[in-house]
């Protein structure tokens, strides 16, 4: 384990000659740490506003195009083009904001990069080589290839895009899972070195994290199609197209909502043995004990290491969820010293909100599935569904908050603390780039959501370029 804090302090004495009046070297590292964390949080949250729709909608568009190739029904072609256009508007921002994350491991987290690059770096390189090339090359083939490829082959290219973007997610999530639960490594030469590649790639934590993340993304894609289709059906616009897409999305969404709940439980369960402190923070559970109930209402009081308020216990439920035994012992937050605990309140609230909203989405998915064949007449459902589109976005972000904030104070769980990973760079540089990210991302986000909003409401358009219609 690197002796980070001591090392950083020692380095602070032989400060480099800096031209502008600097704060003491140590202070500037602390600032760079906070700013770098903030910058990573901002850029990751932003990136993940676009990724889930790419992962989910790509499959749905692929299904629509497959239906077109099989039936030669123009409705399916319109559906493919329409949702394909929305897919591309979303994809553009998702793809460019991903590079930011890869770069930051080097720019802002250089000590982390040195310490884990042997494993973590290779996973990112595999991702680019195996999946990202395919995705980026074939998305263009799909967009530009409508006339150049046979319909069947054209359809194959969107499947390549869908599958490769999800494979890409797999490698990224394997890398993240390694930060959550490092395995297959030895500590040698002052860093973590790979000892078993298969372990790293196939560990249960990684597989569960993958299915949970893509599951959430697929649900988001489903709600997106449901919402947009409902909006048009309610306005009697292209009803025959949108009732078709609605039916597919209704089945899709319900299937993955059910799937998500089951493996979501497995994701929490595995934390009992891999990240007990995170689990305790998610449940605001302080004292290690058996027969742990789950309180439907609670409010953590971190100062006094207890819940300020708790009510409505379901006896033994938490023990049961972790051990399938209502008497099982569950580790509490007080098992580890304060400085080794994540911030409890945001982790606890994010987890509760994620589960609560997830269950709400499940019931809406049941409703949509139930009424899918008479959807034109379901005025209430048609009104509600477009408003539901933001919810899965929120749920996805909450899930990442639980996963990443709950991992703190570790950058690699139990192995390297976050403050040990940061680069020795001037805080002013980070402050400047952070400011620029706020500015540029605010612009990009507004423009992209404006375009999605506009094009989603336009519905299927005649097939010519928007700027050439006047010519």
Partner 1 sequence: MLETIWFAIWGVAWAVYFLLDGFDLGLGTLFPFIAKTESDKRIMVNAMGPFWDGNEVWLITAGGVTFAAFPTAYAVMFSSLYTPLMLLLFALILRGVAFEFRGKVDSAAWRKLWDCCLVFGSFLPAFLLGVAFANLFAGIPVDQDGVLHGNLLTLLNPYGLAGGVFFVTAFIHHGALWLAVKSEGELRERARKLAFKLWFVALVAAVAFLALTWIYTPLWQNLFTRPVFLALPALAVLGLVASPILSRLGKAWWAWGSSGLFIAMATLFGVAGVFPNIVGSSLDPAASVTAFNSASSTLTLEIMLGVVLAFLPVVIAYQAWVYVKFGGTINQESVDEGPSY
Site residues (CB under 8 A) for partner 1, limited to 389-448: 423-425, 429, 432-433, 436, 440, 444, 447-448
147 interacts with partner 1 by CB under 8 A: yes
Residues 6+ apart with CB under 8 A from 285: 279, 292, 318, 330, 332, 333
Stretch that binds partner 1, among 58-66, 115-123, 319-327, 388-396 (CB under 8 A): 115-123
For residue 126, the minimal CB distance to partner 1 (Å) is: 6
* Residue (of 83, 44, 45, 48) closest to 63 by Cα position: 83
**Which position among 17, 21, 337, 377 is part of the footprint of partner 1 (CB under 8 A)?**
17
Site for partner 1 in 267-286 (CB under 8 A): none
143 interacts with partner 1 by CB under 8 A: yes
**Which position among 41, 69, 141, 357 is part of the footprint of partner 1 (CB under 8 A)?**
141
**Which position among 80, 111, 243, 420 is part of the footprint of partner 1 (CB under 8 A)?**
111
Report the C-alpha gap between 371 and 226 in whole angstroms: 12
The two structure tokens encoding residue 122: 């290779």
Counting residues that bind partner 1 (by CB under 8 A) gives: 83
| CB nearer partner 1, residue 5 or residue 374 | 5
Length of the chain: 471
188 interacts with partner 1 by CB under 8 A: yes
**Which position among 30, 38, 88, 317 is part of the footprint of partner 1 (CB under 8 A)?**
88
For residue 181, the minimal CB distance to partner 1 (Å) is: 19
Residues 6+ apart with CB under 8 A from 216: 52, 260, 392, 395, 396, 399
31 interacts with partner 1 by CB under 8 A: no
**Which position among 71, 129, 273, 325 is part of the footprint of partner 1 (CB under 8 A)?**
129
145 interacts with partner 1 by CB under 8 A: yes
Report the C-alpha gap between 250 and 257 in whole angstroms: 11
**Which position among 40, 48, 82, 132 is part of the footprint of partner 1 (CB under 8 A)?**
132
Stretch that binds partner 1, among 122-130, 214-222, 286-294, 364-372 (CB under 8 A): 122-130
For residue 170, the minimal CB distance to partner 1 (Å) is: 14
CA angle 304–33–22, rounded 5-degree value: 120
**Which position among 31, 73, 193, 305 is part of the footprint of partner 1 (CB under 8 A)?**
193
Q: Residue 132 in 3-state DSSP?
A: helix
153 interacts with partner 1 by CB under 8 A: no
Residues 6+ apart with CB under 8 A from 212: 260, 263, 264, 267, 399
41 interacts with partner 1 by CB under 8 A: no
Beta strands in 107-217 (DSSP E): 185-188, 191-194
For residue 213, the minimal CB distance to partner 1 (Å) is: 20
93 interacts with partner 1 by CB under 8 A: yes
**Which position among 133, 262, 309, 370 is part of the footprint of partner 1 (CB under 8 A)?**
133
Query: Under a CB-based contact definition with an 8 Å cutoff, are residues 91 and 403 in contact?
Result: no
Report the C-alpha gap between 32 and 19 in whole angstroms: 18
122 interacts with partner 1 by CB under 8 A: yes
CA angle 367–371–375, rounded 5-degree value: 120
11 interacts with partner 1 by CB under 8 A: yes
| CB nearer partner 1, residue 112 or residue 410 | 112
- DSSP code of 217? H
CB-based burial of residue 384 (10 Å sphere; 0-12 exposed, 13-18 middle, 19+ buried)?
middle
377 interacts with partner 1 by CB under 8 A: no
Site for partner 1 in 320-339 (CB under 8 A): none
Query: Under a CB-based contact definition with an 8 Å cutoff, are residues 214 and 176 in contact?
Result: no
Query: Under a CB-based contact definition with an 8 Å cutoff, are residues 157 and 106 in contact?
Result: no
| CB nearer partner 1, residue 111 or residue 350 | 111
């Amino acid at each position: 384990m690197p002796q980070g804090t001591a090392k950083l302090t020692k380095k602070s004495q032989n400060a480099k000659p800096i031209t502008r009046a600097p704060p003491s070297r140590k202070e500037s590292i602390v600032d760079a740490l906070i700013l770098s964390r903030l910058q990573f949080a901002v850029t990751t949250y932003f990136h993940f506003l676009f990724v889930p729709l790419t992962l989910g909608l790509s499959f749905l568009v692929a299904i629509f195009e497959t239906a077109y190739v099989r039936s030669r029904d123009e409705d399916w072609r319109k559906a493919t083009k329409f949702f394909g256009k929305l897919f591309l508007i979303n994809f553009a921002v998702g793809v460019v904001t991903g590079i930011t994350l890869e770069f930051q491991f080097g720019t802002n987290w250089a000590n982390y990069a040195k310490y884990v690059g042997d494993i973590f770096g290779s996973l990112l390189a595999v991702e680019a080589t195996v999946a990202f090339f395919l995705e980026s090359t074939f998305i263009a083939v799909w967009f530009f290839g409508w006339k150049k490829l046979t319909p069947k082959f054209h359809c194959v290219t969107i499947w390549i895009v869908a599958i490769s973007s999800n494979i890409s997610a797999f490698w990224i999530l394997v890398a993240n899972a390694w930060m959550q639960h490092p395995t297959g490594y030895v500590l040698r030469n002052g860093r973590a070195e790979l000892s078993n590649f298969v372990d790293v790639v196939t560990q249960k934590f990684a597989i569960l994290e993958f299915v949970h993340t893509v599951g959430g993304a697929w649900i988001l894609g489903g709600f997106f199609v449901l919402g947009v289709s409902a909006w048009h059906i309610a306005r009697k616009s292209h009803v025959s197209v949108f009732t078709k897409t609605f039916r597919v999305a209704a089945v899709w969404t319900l299937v993955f909502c059910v799937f998500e709940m089951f493996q979501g439980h497995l994701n929490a369960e595995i934390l009992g043995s891999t990240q007990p402190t995170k689990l305790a923070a998610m449940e605001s559970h302080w004292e290690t004990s058996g027969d742990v109930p789950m309180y439907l209402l609670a409010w953590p009081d971190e100062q006094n290491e207890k819940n300020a308020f708790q009510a409505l216990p379901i006896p033994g439920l938490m023990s049961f969820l972790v051990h399938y035994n209502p008497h099982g012992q569950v580790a509490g937050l007080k098992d580890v010293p304060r400085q080794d605990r994540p911030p409890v309140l945001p982790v606890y609230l994010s987890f509760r909100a994620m589960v609560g909203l997830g269950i709400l989405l499940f019931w809406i998915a049941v409703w949509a599935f139930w009424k899918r064949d008479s959807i034109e007449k379901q005025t209430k459902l048609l009104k509600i569904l477009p408003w539901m589109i933001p919810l899965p976005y929120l749920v996805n972000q909450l899930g990442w908050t639980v996963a990443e904030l709950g991992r703190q104070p570790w950058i690699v769980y139990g192995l390297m603390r976050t403050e040990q990973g940061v680069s020795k760079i001037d805080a002013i540089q980070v402050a400047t780039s952070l400011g620029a990210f706020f500015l540029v991302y605010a612009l990009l986000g507004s423009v992209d959501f404006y375009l999605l909003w506009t094009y989603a409401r336009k519905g299927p358009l005649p097939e010519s370029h928007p700027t050439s219609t006047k010519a």
